[in-house]
């Protein structure tokens, strides 16, 4: 499934690519790194195979770095701040 080209999708694409650059140079805060790693782990058996998100058709690596979840929270929520992420990890037994 492919999403339409919209201003929001263009910004999402740019955000994902900027986040991947920040990741490459180790400039992301730890709580963001953890959430991106968690998202990629959850997606490794489907989106990760062809590097294409099964929900929106975007590049899976870039999409996993974007704040807004494309799956409406079915698989994982939007990126959270540090406190929200800490609570989420506790509630969902994520280590």
Which residue ranges of the chain lie beneath pLDDT 70? 1-3
Neighbours of 16 (CB within 10 A): 20
Whole-number Å distance between alpha carbons of 10 and 26: 24
pLDDT score recorded for residue 1: 52
pLDDT score recorded for residue 5: 84
pTM of the model: 0.89
Task: Supply the DSSP string of 51-86, one letter for each residue.
Answer: TB-TTT-SBHHHHTTSSS-TTTTSS--S---HHHHH
Residue with tokens 């490459």: 24
What are the structural domain ranges in the chain?
7-91
Residue with tokens 């999402």: 12
pLDDT score recorded for residue 56: 86
pLDDT score recorded for residue 3: 66
Nearest CA to 76 among 14, 34, 28, 24?
A: 34
């Amino acid at each position: 499934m492919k999403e339409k080209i919209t201003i929001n999708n263009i910004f999402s694409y740019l955000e994902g690519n900027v986040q991947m650059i920040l990741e490459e140079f180790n400039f992301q805060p730890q709580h963001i790194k953890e959430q991106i790693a968690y998202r990629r782990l959850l997606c490794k058996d489907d989106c990760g195979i062809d590097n294409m998100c099964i929900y929106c058709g975007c590049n899976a690596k870039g999409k996993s770095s974007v704040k807004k979840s494309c799956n409406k929270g079915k698989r994982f929520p939007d990126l959270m701040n540090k406190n929200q992420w800490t609570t989420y990890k506790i509630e969902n037994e994520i280590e």
